[in-house]
Amino acid sequence: MQKATNASVNATSNKSLSVIIEVCVVVLLFCIFFFCIVVMLHIFASHRQFLDTSRYILFASMLISDTLHVMFSVLLFHLTMAQVKVALCLCFPLMFISTATFRNTPFILATMSLERYVAIFYPLQCPAAWCSDRIWIIILVLWLLSCMFPIIEYSIGQRYPDVNILFALVLCRPATVNTSPIQALFRTAVNVLCFSVVAVIIILTYVRILLETRKMRQDKVSVSKATHTVLLHGFQLLLCMLAFTMPITETLIVLRAGWSADEIAFFNYVCFTLIPRFLSPLIYGFRDQTLRSYIGKIFLCCSSKAESSVRDHIKDNLCPS
């Protein structure tokens, strides 16, 4: 009996330690990501020339979408880890924003691919919709499309007349909100459609751009840089699209590794939700020469201010008034 009690206590202690480690990892990744995003958005807001280029406008829109998704998904992750129950009237908006922003990123990636394709192959005959002053219309359409799918998904769910939606407390996670088989079928169909359309658009446009880049430019450095960008972009897209196959990966992990449900959920969340969003600043921000120069100026300015503050502090201590 004593051994069973000790084993139970050890299991509880190990689980608590595992939860603490997972929460710390998520918080650390979120802080790094949020810092990078704030720096990027500050540069966009401070320099007008970025808002006159369609590519940067789409990039800023993707950063905002990724930031919203990470913020709400991290909030939902911590609520689930802490086993905190919230009212359904609060859970639905949280799940809605998380789902809409999750699907919005692949749409923006496909749109950025099309924008690059149009800019390279039709520089003198660019359609009016792709101009910087009208690209907002395309962004608005993408947001409406991203919001339309979760609205339909939630509206076709089961109804519980005996449940008070204002006061019913639940664990806010997809399994709680999406309980109907028809919702699962609709979600699967939408995921397959999104995967197919976005994958075809990005593969065709970037392969064509890569081939044209190799043909037009003889500079090996430029060709190598373009190749690496395409590979990184494809890796990010792969991670985003693999999130649509979470049920399959969960089944394979259970069969092969025998992980617990919490470990599988954490693995899928980090690999298929956080990492693709963290790659966005790396691929489109730090690899962009113009943005990189502004980022370097910000860090140099911050470091010079810090050094000046330290020198003033030392001076005040050495020479008190």
> pLDDT, tens digit, for every residue of 67-111?
898 889 888 888 887 788 888 788 888 889 988 998 888 888 888
Burial of 4 from C-beta contacts in 10 A (0-12 / 13-18 / 19+): exposed
Q: What pLDDT is stored for residue 321 in this prediction?
A: 45
> pLDDT, tens digit, for every residue of 23-33?
788 888 888 88
170 Cβ neighbours under 8 A, 6+ residues apart: 85, 86, 87, 88, 91, 176
Question: Which CATH architecture group holds 2-295?
Answer: Up-down Bundle (1.20)
d(CA 69, CA 104): 9
Q: What pLDDT is stored for residue 25 in this prediction?
A: 82
Instruction: Identify the segments of the chain with pLDDT beneath 70.
Output: 1-15, 126, 129, 157-167, 178-179, 213-214, 216-234, 239, 241-262, 299, 302-321
Q: Tell whether the torsion through CA atoms of 301, 302, 305 and 307 is positive or negative.
A: negative
Q: What pLDDT is stored for residue 7 in this prediction?
A: 47
Q: What pLDDT is stored for residue 306 in this prediction?
A: 46
In this structure, are residues 106 and 55 in contact, taking their beta carbons and an 8 Å threshold?
Answer: no
Q: What pLDDT is stored for residue 163 in this prediction?
A: 57
pTM: 0.80
As beta bridge partners, residue 87 has: 169
d(CA 180, CA 160): 12
Q: What pLDDT is stored for residue 253 in this prediction?
A: 64
